[in-house]
Amino acid sequence: MIFRLLIVIALIALAFFLIRRLRLRLRLHQDKKNKPRQLHPFEETVSCKQCGLRLPKSEAIEENGAFYCNKEHAEK
């Protein structure tokens, strides 16, 4: 009798777990479907001539054809 009760409880718990997991998966699928896909364009990177740090070209300081990561390196 107790063994059957434990089996029924285990089956109910398993059903609850599977239904919850299925609902979560469906919700995630709908969120991905509704969101527009965002593309991140590639931005060229350059190295600082002084220290070698790589940074996006838009953030670099260009001085005499060379790129630097900050003003101090550009002035040296």
Cα dihedral sign, 60-63-68-71: negative
Domain that holds residue 68: 45-75
> What domain count does the chain have?
2
User: What pLDDT, on the 0 to 100 scale, is given for residue 39?
Assistant: 67
32 & 53 share domain: no
Residues constituting the chain: 76
Label residue 35 by pLDDT band (50, 70, 90): low
8 A C-beta contact, residue 61 and residue 74: yes
33 & 4 share domain: yes
33 & 10 share domain: yes
29 & 56 share domain: no
29 & 59 share domain: no
In tens, the pLDDT along 2-24 reads 999 999 999 999 999 999 999 98
